[in-house]
Amino acid sequence: MKDISSAIQLIPLENYVFLSVALFSIGMMGVLFRRNTIAILMCLELMFNSVNLLLTAFSAYHSDPAGQVFVFFIMIVAAAEVAVGLSIIVMMKRNVDSVDINLLNRLKW
């Protein structure tokens, strides 16, 4: 455990932060600009994972396991969420035969 921690600490913390921010931003951009809901879901997953990465890095730097425990929770929840999301998409596909996000605009004003 210690070794892993120290190995992780070899790389400066900023790099982890920058990386996860970059990942997070890429995911965000994906969510913002993609029209296919499946792709959006994947981008969301990317955002979750960037958070996981960040938490793990911090956890290592602080030598505190809580962060990594949290990562597990996040993974579980994210999985559940994706499951629900996918099923909603399936339902949508059944209803309108499309997974284009811009079709979802009947509820407005």
Partner 1 sequence: MVALISTIAWLVPAFPLLGFLITGLAKNRLKNNQAGIIASTLVSFSFITAVILFFSLRSSGQDSVTVTLFNWISAGDLKIPFAFLIDHLSITMMLIVTGVGALIHIYSIGYMHGDERVNSFFAQMNLFTFSMLLLVMGANYLILFIGWEGVGFCSYLLIGFWFKNPAFNYAARKAFVMNRIGDLGFILGIILLFFTFKSVSFTEVFAQAGTLQAGAPLITLITILLLVGAVGKSAQIPLYTWLPDAMAGPTPVSALIHAATMVTAGIYMIARSSILYNLAPITLNIMIGLGLATAIFAAVIGLRQNDIKKVLAYSTVSQLGYMFLALGLGAYSSAVFHLTTHAFFKALLFLGAGSIIHAMGGEQDIRKMGGLRKKMPVTYFTFLAATLAISGIPPFSGFFSKDLILTKAFENNPVLYVLALGGALITCFYMFRLLYLVFFGDQRLSSAHPHESPRVMTIPLIILSILSVFGGFLNIPELFGGKSGLGEFLHSAIISKVTEELAGSTEIGLIISSLALLGLIILLAYRTYVKKAIIPAEDSKSLSSFSKAITNKFYIDEIYTALFERPFGFLSDFFFYNVENKVLDAAVDGIGTATSRLGGLARKLQAGNMSFYLFAMVGGILLFIIFILIV
Partner 2 sequence: MSALILLTVFGIIVLYLGFANNKKILAPVAITGLLISMFLSIKDWNLGSKYFHDMMIIDNFSIAFNVSMVIITILIFLFGVNYYKRMEHHVAEQYALMIFALTGAFLMTSFSNLIMLFLGIEILSIPLYILAGGKKSSFRSNEASFKYFLLGSFATTFFLFGIALVYGASATFYLPEIKTYIAQFNGHLPPMLMVGLLFILIGVSFKVAVAPFHFWSPDVYEGSPTLVTAFMATVVKTAGFAAFYRLLGMGLLPLPGPLEKTLWVMTMLSLLVGNLAALRQTNFKRLLAYSAIVHTGFMMLAMLSQHDSSASVLLYYTFVYSLATVPLFIIFIYMKRASSGLEELSIFRGLYKQKPWMAVFMTILLMSLAGLPPTAGFLAKYRVFILSISQGYLAISIFAIVMAIIGVYYYFYVLRETFSESDNPNPIEISRLNSLLIVVCGVAVLLLGIFVWSVPI
Site residues (CB under 8 A) for partner 2?
A: 13, 17, 20, 24, 27-28, 31, 37, 40, 44, 47-48, 50-51, 54-55, 57-59, 61-62, 64, 66-67, 69-70, 73-74, 77, 80-81, 84-85, 87-89, 91-92, 95-96, 101, 104, 106-109
Using the minimum distance from each CB to partner 1, give the nearer residue, 7 or 96. 96
Q: According to the binding rule CB under 8 A, does residue 109 interact with partner 1?
A: yes
Query: What, of partner 2, partner 1, none, does residue 66 touch, CB below 5 to 8 Å by kind?
Result: partner 2
Least distance in angstroms from the C-beta of 8 to partner 2: 13
Residues 34 to 93: which contact partner 1 by CB under 8 A?
A: 35
Least distance in angstroms from the C-beta of 7 to partner 2: 19
Using the minimum distance from each CB to partner 2, give the nearer residue, 7 or 104. 104
Least distance in angstroms from the C-beta of 4 to partner 2: 18
Torsion sign, CA atoms 40, 41, 45, 48? positive
Query: Rounded to an integer, what is the distance from CA 19 to the centroid of its chain?
Result: 13
Of the listed pieces 30-38, 65-73, 75-83, 85-93, which binds partner 1 according to CB under 8 A?
Answer: 30-38
Pick left, alpha or beta for residue 63 (phi over 0 → left; psi -120 to 50 → alpha; otherwise beta): left
> What CA–CA distance (Å, rounded) separates 40 from 89?
11
Pick left, alpha or beta for residue 98 (phi over 0 → left; psi -120 to 50 → alpha; otherwise beta): beta
Q: DSSP string of 21-48?
A: HHHHHHHHHHHHH--BHHHHHHHHHHHH
Q: What is the DSSP letter of 103?
A: G
